[in-house]
Structure 1
């Protein structure tokens, strides 16, 4: 009798898990296809870009313009190269464990994936200084107004965790992807419903650009920029 009860409990757990995954994937597909429209009738002042590596979306902005000078906080000196030539900086939010402990998907540990999926770890912002991005299927250029850019700046600024003096916190690490990037402590936790791509999608919403109603993956965003 007890074995039947155990078997029923296991079957119920498996069924519930399968049902949850099915509903989640359906929501991902449907909500990613529902567009949030671009704000109409605004001026064209600032060129920004969205860039995907196939899994993760970065927002690329000018290092310095009349609205914001990112280099006063996202410092060139925090990169290995300390090169000050780059005129753009890519900004991406994500799980700190993924960023610092998973150089490739082949090295992904179950513990890192589990903690990320269920919001059990902290987050980080990854910044990379770069030149003008090359537009293609993985990179789209968007022209926005100064007012919209100010809203984007405010959104990104609000994602940084700050110390008691109000400074953003550079993460000292050897896990850099190249010689032009750096990591910073961030607010929030990565989970199944709020991923790096959700953050980027919300960045587009913040500055009044085309976006998904909701998406956890990059293809949802880029579907609307075909």
Structure 2
């Protein structure tokens, strides 16, 4: 095989990779504009939930406790650094375990972490954050949903947690938390560039019968439907 053939082969492979990246970016920008409409079940919408982004990861934020669910029983306050018990909301997001633990902000992103996350090379995790209050803004939107919708949302979220032999959520022992009010838990499923933390949040909204993008890898794809 001549040097010329080898060079042409390398260029061809690089061209294919660049083409895939370009197609992915275009689809990631365009498909989110295709919306999935909210489904009105006719029930009173009296339970507040929020969609929240820190610029990298998105969460579904729910009441810590009501008569339908008490998250503190499954995600104990004892697993938080603060050990406080007076929180009113809990934000839960799913994503790549390495990406979560190593990339709290875009400035912390490593090439090796991105590659592992994009190509199904690492485990996934649930990031659970307790809040005292929630404030709406560009990064946080409130949605009122019904009891039936909330029940479906809770099931969708719970089903993504990995469990031990006793059925309990499995906390990840780590100091790589983002504050004194959050913890990580083992999760089911594998993160990829086709199914990101934002894709999961988008699907959570669908499960609750709320507005969503047909598909999105980004938080922008979600929030554009809640302007």
Same fold (TM over 0.5): yes
- Are the counterparts in 1 of residues 56 and 105 from structure 2 also a CA contact under 8 Å? no
> 1:22-69 CA deviation, whole Å, 9 max, x = no partner?
211121122111000001234212100001112221110001111111
SS in 1 for 2:156: helix
1: distance between equivalents of 2:55 and 2:194? Answer: 19
After superposition, the C-alpha distances for 1:140-160 in whole angstroms (9 at most, x for unaligned) are 100000000000000000000
Specify the alignment match of 1:84 in structure 2. 85
Indicate the residue corresponding to 2:112 in structure 1.
111
| TM-score, reference length from structure 2 | 0.96
Measured in 1, the distance between the counterparts of 2:102 and 2:226 equals 31
Q: Which moved more, 1:175-184 or 1:37-46?
A: 37-46
- Answering whether residue 48 of structure 2 is matched by residue 47 of structure 1, we say yes
Matches within 5 A, 1:16-165: 16-40=16-40, 41-165=42-166
Query: Do the aligned partners of residues 203 and 103 (structure 1) sit closer, same or farther apart at CA in structure 2, a change above 3 Å counting?
Result: closer
Give the RMSD, CA atoms, in angstroms. Answer: 1.2
- 8 Å contact 2:56–2:106 — kept in the other structure? no
Task: Give a deviation string over 1:164-207, Cα, whole Å, max 9, x none.
Answer: 11111011111111111111000111110010100100000000
Query: Match for residue 6 of structure 1?
Result: 6
How far apart, in 1, do the equivalents of 2:103 and 2:153 lie? 28
Rounded to whole Å, the distance in 1 between the matches of 2:104 and 2:136 is 25
Partner of 2:209 in structure 1?
Answer: 208
For residues 208 and 144 of structure 1, the distance between their equivalents in structure 2, rounded to whole angstroms, comes to 9
Unaligned runs of 5+ in 1: none
- State the TM-score, normalized to the length of structure 1: 0.96
In 1, the alpha carbon distance for the partners of 2:156 and 2:110 equals 31
Could you list the runs of 5+ residues in structure 2 that have no partner in the other structure? none
Total equivalences in the alignment: 226
SS in 2 for 1:224: helix
Q: How far did 1:103 drift?
A: 4.2
2:222 alignment partner in structure 1: 221
In structure 2, distance between residues paired with 1:2 and 1:217: 43
- SS of structure 1 residue aligned to 2:128: strand
